[in-house]
Structure 1
């Protein structure tokens, strides 16, 4: 390239206007950006206000939330609390000196599970009553004395006195074993079997005592007093045998009101008018 051509090219480049390149966002893009920034600031302010409002309403503190407090011993609830799902806890107790209330609209169930998640002990308190299912049920006093115990084999009442205040008393469908049966003071004791027999047995004897009243034994059919190895004693100042059949008068013809008690071979008792000797043989027709 000659010098003249180079000079002409430089003159053409200097005669053209220089290009200006603008850097940044302008026009409608800039307005949209500012709008989104303003909307984002409004959302941030609303979110912050809602967060502060939730913290205020739920009573969030450093120790917990609402009625729930986190202590060194665990969680502490104040007032009434409602659980919509199962609650798992190692221990539930009330404040010292305050009662613990468990309230439900249907029932309250307490289940004890084994290693296979099978219920081995269950306590259900509902509107129909309280139901307990367990192998052994024990009730003890504060001193540790056994008051009541029940299992599949027997029921044990460990209290010093078992009191049944019902008007009908206590009903036992099978045998009862007890060392002592006593009525309350100034009340009568009745042992009754309306439709079956009443049997009292003891290997060393049955002792019936009424220190301030009478003893009355009534039955519909036969009453039997039996002693296999001993004797039956009737010890009283006066013994009355009412409604005994009377035998025939003695041939002596005496009209004295003195009778002797005769015993038939079958055990039947009857009265025979007394004479100088026994008159039981004369009235043996009563034994037939």
Structure 2
């Protein structure tokens, strides 16, 4: 047998061995070592989570369910307490004409509105633990008017236009300007009436009562003008110098200078205002 024949026999044997190996089951596929250790890994029959992982998953699902229930309960409680409705919430109602507040409301921040009015036949009350300040501004944001209500009364920084000013029952009404002048003006007249108490007007400089067309009418059972100076003149009988005053006189007549100042002159049968008019020269 030559060399080529022997090579064919060997090749035939190798082919048979390969066929036999391919037909037999491979033990490596049935029993492969695991990656974490040397224990063999068997083919898994089903896929799932077991042990502490399963318990943790159930715990997180339960926690999420409890959180959702608490959140829903708090939302319902807030809606109930705040009285949410399709028209608004609480005392606040949104209408076609604007915003409507019913009952008592509290504002913690500044409120900007165009108009505030109460319901018909009901008063409008603004209440604060400290002062209540209402500001009016123009288009540029500049302050044009301010109203401040504090413990001492109402303070206006500019002029005020109103038809009636009155105090609360059994309380005094006081109009005061500590640093400026106080002016009361009206096209048809100003009426000051104290129904029960006294009316008092005092100032540091001049008190001016002026009527452009009519007259100033003082109607009272008794009109008293205090601290009016006495006029002075030359006594023709005793030849007293100019400037002598009548100290023993008990009855006087009221005289007026050209500048409007008043003084007292001794009362006689006729008027003595001319003889005591020296007061008008130096007054």
TM range, smaller chain? 0.5 to 0.7
Distance 1:155 1:219, change over 3 A: closer
The count of aligned residue pairs is 214
**Contact 2:232/2:279 (8 A) holds in 1:** no
**Among residues 49, 70, 88, which one is paired with 1:67 in the alignment?**
70
**Contact 2:265/2:276 (8 A) holds in 1:** yes
TM-score with structure 2 length normalisation?
A: 0.60
In the alignment, which residue of structure 2 is the partner of 1:22?
A: 24
Distance (Å, rounded) in 2 between the aligned partners of 1:189 and 1:146: 21
Distance 1:190 1:252, change over 3 A: farther
What SS is found at the alignment partner of 2:200?
Answer: coil
Q: 1:99 and 2:97 equivalent?
A: no
Q: 1:130 and 2:109 equivalent?
A: yes
Q: 1:196 and 2:180 equivalent?
A: yes
Q: 1:54 and 2:43 equivalent?
A: no
Distance (Å, rounded) in 1 between the aligned partners of 2:156 and 2:53: 74
Q: How does 1:178-257 map to 2 (within 5 A)?
A: 178-248=162-232, 257=250
Shift of 1:51: 3.0
CA RMSD, Structure 1 to Structure 2 (Å): 4.3
* More deviation, 166-175/242-251: 242-251
TM-score with structure 1 length normalisation?
A: 0.59
Gaps of 5+ in 2: 1-12, 84-107, 127-133, 239-245
Distance (Å, rounded) in 2 between the aligned partners of 1:19 and 1:58: 60
**Contact 1:137/1:151 (8 A) holds in 2:** no
The CA deviation string for residues 103-154 of structure 1, in whole angstroms up to 9 with x for no partner, is xxxxxxxxxxxxxxxxxxxxxxxxxx6245x5x4444546798959976459
Gaps of 5+ in 1: 1-12, 70-74, 80-92, 101-128, 157-161
Q: How does 1:101-180 map to 2 (within 5 A)?
A: 130-132=109-111, 136-141=113-118, 152-153=137-138, 164=149, 166-180=150-164
In the alignment, which residue of structure 2 is the partner of 1:258?
A: 251
Distance (Å, rounded) in 2 between the aligned partners of 1:278 and 1:142: 65
- By relative contact order (CA 8 Å, sep 6+), the higher-ranking structure is 2
Distance (Å, rounded) in 1 between the aligned partners of 2:41 and 2:117: 79
